[in-house]
Every structure is written in structure tokens, then in C-alpha cells.
Amino acid sequence: MKPTHSATIKDVAKKAKVSIATVSRVLNNLTGYSDKTRQKVMEAIKETNYQPNAIARGLINKRTQTIGVLLPKVSVQFSSDILQGIGEYAQSHDYSVIVCNTDADGSRTLKYLQVLREKQVDGIIYTSEVLKPEYYEVIQAMKIPVVLVASESPYASVPYVKVNDWQASYDAVTYLIGKGHRRIAMISGTEKDPIAGRPRVQGYLKALADHGIPFDSKYLVHGNFLFDGGYRGMEEILQKAPEVTAVFAASDETALGVLSAAAKHGVKVPQDLSLVGYDNVKLAQMSVPALTTVQQPLFAMGQVAAAKLISMIMTGVVAENQLVPHSIVERETVGTIGND
């Protein structure tokens, strides 16, 4: 007679003729049972096709072995590379991940946080966005660790892992200058974004200044990290400042928008215009010409964030912030210019 319900520890105990305490012990590889008992229990587990119930376990252990990941939809490829890294690390350390698409909508974030709390996740990874005080507060109340990826925060208890955006941007522009460019425009991300918006603009400005190139405000146009921002930005530049020889785009998607607009207006890349992107997302290799870009190690960032979080869960000690290395991957969109 097959049981209609899935086997529980009780069924195993009965079949093995031991107490549930003993079953629990062998299940958890504790000590305190003879080898013979172990045999009996193992056999009963096989026979009953027993599977532990993580919910019951979680209730008593106050550990669910699951973490929550909050990420905005923005620039999907970007997010999913990070998510991939998180998932990889988590899974190999016996954690599951609940994903929450905040979709750049604040009220949703709060709701998700609520759910994660009720579901008793052991920790949270927060991606690509500023950790607003209101979010920080509720997370505090949850008494679980959080780590930020591709974002940063002023909270000592919330470590982050990210690239040095300012520096990366500085390097990209310096790279362009090294190729002989002086009339370099930038299409930024969202203007007010304090993480990936402003710092990258600052890096651009500083690189110009350090190389004695006066800043021309026509050369800076604000985008939104997306394709259309790049497209429109490029058209604006073409109109207001056609003398520009290079464009630095704040994301690869933006750069692809530039590429499209350039093609539409008969501007040849890299012959007439050089272009550098940012992210080195899979896209960057697939365009024609292939995109020279600033690489962020997205997958690794996800892994590192997961590692930090899990370490915080286990030890209770706050992890260090971590700046991960960026680099410029050279492909086909940058040309050299002779001195003029």
C-alpha cells in the first residue's frame, strides 16, 4: 500500500524501527548512532523514497538557504550576467535564489522586500541601484545581511562590489586621447544617476582636463543607458558638433544606438568616428564593427557578491567593499588620428 503523502521522517523512523531523533541524526551526519542503526535508517530512506522538507527545517533552524536578488530590468543583458554569477556561486554553496524584478519602480521594491522578509531569506543582493534610506531601513529591520553589486552606499554595514566607474571612464577617454582624438563627445547614462551616471561624466571631464583639452558643453549629451538614448544622442551631436571625432558612450547599448545613428547619417565607424562603449556585454562582440569597450567583469561581480553575502550569513561579520578591475577591450570601433 503506497502512502498518499510524501514520506516524512516519521515514516522513515517507523520503517527503521528507531526514533525520529535518530533518523534526524543520520540525516544530518551527526554523531551518536551505531553503524547498524545507520544502515537500517539509510535503507528505510531508500525504501520510503524520503526527501527532507526544507520548510520544516527552515522553521526550526531559522535558515532557509535562500537569498533574494533585487534587480531592475534596465539593460537586461547586464543584469542577467550578474545574476548568472550570483546563481552559479549560490547553487554551488547550497543556496537558492529568489529573483525580484524591481523594474525601476520604487513601490515594487518595498513590496518585494516585504515578501523576502516573510519568506525568511537569509540575505539580499541588491543590484545596480541606489539603496534608498527607506529600503535600508526595512532591511535593517530584517536583521539580515545585504550586499550591493554595481552600486554603492554610504552604509558601513552594506558592502558593495563594483568597478571604479570614475576611473574606468577616465581610462576610456584617456585611451581615446592616446589615439590622437581631442574632439571627444560623451553620451552619458541617466543624468542624475549617482552610481553609473555622474561618476562616468566626471571621469570624462577629468581626463579631458588632465590632457589640456577644454570642455565644450555641446560635447556632452545625456542618454539613459539604452539604445534609443544613444541613437538620439548621436543625432544631437551630429547636428550640434559635427566636428567630433570620437564618442564615448556610457553603455554598450548606448554605443549600439550611436552605431545605428552613424550608419543612418553616412558616418563611417571607425573611419569618420571612433566609438568606445561601456560594459562589454555580449552585444559588444556582435555589432558591425565590433565594439571597443570598457569591460566590467559582470559575471565575476555576481559571484563575488554572492560569496560576500554568504560569508556574512555564516560569520555575521560585515564584508569589505570591493572594487573589481576593469579594462579596455579593443575591437574595431576606434581609429587613430594624426596630430593636427
Interacting residues with a copy of itself (CB under 8 A): 6, 49, 51-56, 58-59, 64, 66, 73, 76-77, 79-81, 83-84, 87-88, 91, 96-101, 108, 112, 114-115, 117-120, 141, 143, 227, 253, 256-257, 259-260, 263, 282-283, 285-290
Between 31 and 339, name the residue whose CB sits nearer to DNA.
31
Residue 8 binds which of DNA, a copy of itself, none (CB < 5-8 A, kind-dependent) = DNA
Q: Is 25 a residue that touches DNA (CB under 7 A)?
A: yes
Q: Which residue bears the cell 560623451?
A: 186
From the number of C-beta atoms within 10 Å of its C-beta (0-12, 13-18, 19+), residue 265 rates as middle
Q: Provide the mask over 216-235, with x wherever binding to DNA is found by CB under 7 A and - wherever it is not.
A: --------------------
Shortest distance in whole angstroms from residue 54 CB to a copy of itself? 4
Q: Is 45 a residue that touches DNA (CB under 7 A)?
A: no
Q: Is 57 a residue that touches DNA (CB under 7 A)?
A: yes
Name residues whose C-beta falls within 8 Å of residue 327's C-beta, 6 or more positions apart in sequence.
294, 295
Between 71 and 319, name the residue whose CB sits nearer to a copy of itself.
71
Q: Is 37 a residue that touches DNA (CB under 7 A)?
A: yes
Instruction: With CA atoms as reference, report the closest residue to 249 among 240, 237, 258.
Output: 258
Q: Where are the strands (E) in the chain, listed by range? A: 66-71, 96-101, 123-127, 146-149, 160-163, 184-188, 220-222, 246-249, 274-279, 292-295, 322-324, 327-329
Show the CA angle centred on residue 194, arms to residues 107 and 152, nearest 5°.
80
Q: Is 65 a residue that touches DNA (CB under 7 A)?
A: no
Q: Is 49 a residue that touches DNA (CB under 7 A)?
A: no
Show the CA angle centred on residue 184, arms to residues 181 and 188, nearest 5°.
145
Q: Is 17 a residue that touches DNA (CB under 7 A)?
A: yes
Q: Is 53 a residue that touches DNA (CB under 7 A)?
A: yes
Residue 119 binds which of DNA, a copy of itself, none (CB < 5-8 A, kind-dependent) = a copy of itself
Q: How many residues does the chain have?
A: 340
Q: Is 264 a residue that touches DNA (CB under 7 A)?
A: no
Between 18 and 83, name the residue whose CB sits nearer to DNA.
18
Among 1, 60, 156, 317, binds DNA (CB under 7 A): 60
Could you give the C-alpha distances from 35 to 22, 32, 38, in angstroms and in order? 12, 10, 5
Contact yes or no for 121/66 (Cβ under 8 A): yes
Name residues whose C-beta falls within 8 Å of residue 290's C-beta, 6 or more positions apart in sequence.
284, 331, 332, 333
Among 44, 48, 50, 139, binds DNA (CB under 7 A): 50
From CA 301, how far away is CA 163, in angstroms rounded? 9
Shortest distance in whole angstroms from residue 316 CB to DNA? 17
Radius of gyration, CA atoms only, the chain: 26
Between 30 and 288, name the residue whose CB sits nearer to a copy of itself.
288
Contact yes or no for 255/279 (Cβ under 8 A): no
Among 1, 4, 28, 212, binds DNA (CB under 7 A): 28
Cell of 70: 533585487
Between 18 and 294, name the residue whose CB sits nearer to DNA.
18
Residue 209 binds which of DNA, a copy of itself, none (CB < 5-8 A, kind-dependent) = none
Among 46, 47, 49, 52, binds DNA (CB under 7 A): 52
Show the CA angle centred on residue 92, arms to residues 89 and 93, nearest 5°.
85
User: Phi-psi region for residue 65, left (φ > 0), alpha (ψ -120 to 50) or beta?
Assistant: left
**Site of interaction with DNA (CB under 7 A):** 5, 8-10, 17-22, 24-25, 27-28, 30-34, 36-37, 50-53, 56-57, 59-62
